[in-house]
Amino acid sequence: MKPEIEGYITKNYYELLKICKKYTKNDDWASELLHDIILQLYDKSEVKLNSLDDNSIKYYIVRIIMMSWCYPTSPFYKKYKKDNNNFVELNEAMQMVSEEFESDRHKLMDIIENEWTELDWFNKIIFEKYMVMGSLKKVSLDTTIPLTSIADYVRNTKQSIRKNTIYRFNNE
């Protein structure tokens, strides 16, 4: 890493952390994102910038933050976000439902298990592949089913389980 970039990071670390938190909307991964980017910069043998003034360096680092946070091909996304996205979705759904029905967790889990067993074999297999592979694109490539169709099947399965679970919970 060039000494100018290292000096900028040292001098403006808290500002960069603030930018990370703002861009990630105060996500818990904000500091991890910044540290990962700093490590990437240390690993790079040469950083090509037109000028090494503070604005150019800041712009360069902010662009790396944006790309690392959003793009599924970035090393940060592959290392942290991808693995957690599926679990976060399930956790959010369970928290939403469990907050409403805290006292009846066992009943709720039984209903979800019943809903899962009542799914037709095709949607169950597609959804299982999605949960294991973690990506709609990977499921599409594995099954040779178009990506949009896979996305529709997964979305419809989630909605069906959620809707039927809430309905059955309220009526049983």
Tell me if 154 sits within 8 A of 147, measured CB to CB. Answer: no
pLDDT in tens, 31-52: 888 888 888 888 776 777 767 7
CA-wise closest residue to 98 among 158, 169, 159, 156: 169
Residue 106 or residue 151, greater confidence: 151
Looking at residue 110, its pLDDT comes to 82
Residue 157, judged by CB atoms within 10 A of its CB (0-12, 13-18, 19+), counts as buried
Model pLDDT, residue 81: 63
Residue 58 amino acid letter: K
Q: How would residue 1 be classed by pLDDT, with cut points 50, 70 and 90? A: low
pLDDT band at 27 (very low <50, low <70, confident <90, very high): confident
- pLDDT, tens digit, for every residue of 59-99? 888 888 888 888 777 777 777 666 555 555 555 665 665 55
Domain ranges for the chain, please list them: 3-70, 83-171
Distance from C-alpha of 25 to C-alpha of 86, rounded to nearest angstrom: 19
Q: How confident is the model at residue 8 (pLDDT cuts 50, 70, 90)?
A: confident
Q: What is the pLDDT of residue 119?
A: 87
Scan for tokens 């419809």, then name that residue.
156
Q: What is the pLDDT of residue 93?
A: 61
Whole-number average pLDDT of the chain = 80
- The angle at the Cα of 58, spanning 56 to 64, to the nearest 5 degrees, equals 105
pTM score: 0.47
d(CA 139, CA 149): 11
- Out of 1.10.150, 2.60.60, 1.10.10, 1.20.120, select the CATH number for domain 83-171: 1.10.10
Burial class (CB in 10 A: 0-12, 13-18, 19+), 113: exposed
Averaged pLDDT, 155-161: 89
Q: How confident is the model at residue 103 (pLDDT cuts 50, 70, 90)?
A: low
pLDDT band at residue 55 under the 50/70/90 scheme:
confident
Round to whole Å and give the CA distance between 41 and 39.
5
